[in-house]
Amino acid sequence: MEPVSLRLGRRSDALTVAALSVQVFLDTYATAGVRPDLAREAFREYSEQAFVERLSMSGCRFVLAEAQDALLGFAEVQCESRKAPGAAPRGFELVRLYVQPQAQRAGVGSALLREAEKIASSAHSPAIWLTVWEENVRALAFYARSGYADVGATDYMFEGKAYGNRVVAKQLSVA
């Protein structure tokens, strides 16, 4: 794999972030095929316009991983301390960490995660937390290897259906 570089996301990155998001979302959740509810959620939540808005928010940071000007993955960090569901400590939320399938297990996700943790730590957040679909065994193992503790459960809801998620969190050393 080509050398990977990290940089902060900009509004002009919305199109590629949206495309990668739809790809990773469907690869993760549509394992039995693409149902209409999954398709609607993907196109609603991960539209280019949705990412233009999120990339413009002052309290949100995106870290992009690229190789030869091509997007391989990104981390989306909500940069305000908030209480996570369950017993998680108050801290910044890692909203998403998406990596293209061919770039997984090549250190891209680890690099993005470390950068997200640096963003939280440098802003004096005592912890960082996220939710992971309970059937995404590889992601749960990745976060456990990265020092995240399972601190509870929550549901991700769309179109009246609940998807069980685990809440994982990591205490940070404040910079």
- All structural domains of the chain, each given as residue ranges with its CATH number in brackets, are 5-171 (3.40.630.30)
Q: 82 vs 11, 32, 120, 138, CA distance in Å?
A: 25, 35, 12, 26
What is the pTM (predicted TM-score) of this model? 0.92
In degrees, rounded to 5, the angle at the alpha carbon of residue 92 between the alpha carbons of residues 91 and 96 is: 140
**Confidence bin at 2 (pLDDT 50/70/90):** confident
**Confidence bin at 3 (pLDDT 50/70/90):** confident
Exposed (0-12), middle (13-18) or buried (19+): which is 26, by Cβ within 10 Å? middle
Exposed (0-12), middle (13-18) or buried (19+): which is 87, by Cβ within 10 Å? exposed
Residue 66 has pLDDT above 80, yes or no: yes
Give the tens place of pLDDT for each residue, 87-103: 667 899 999 999 999 89
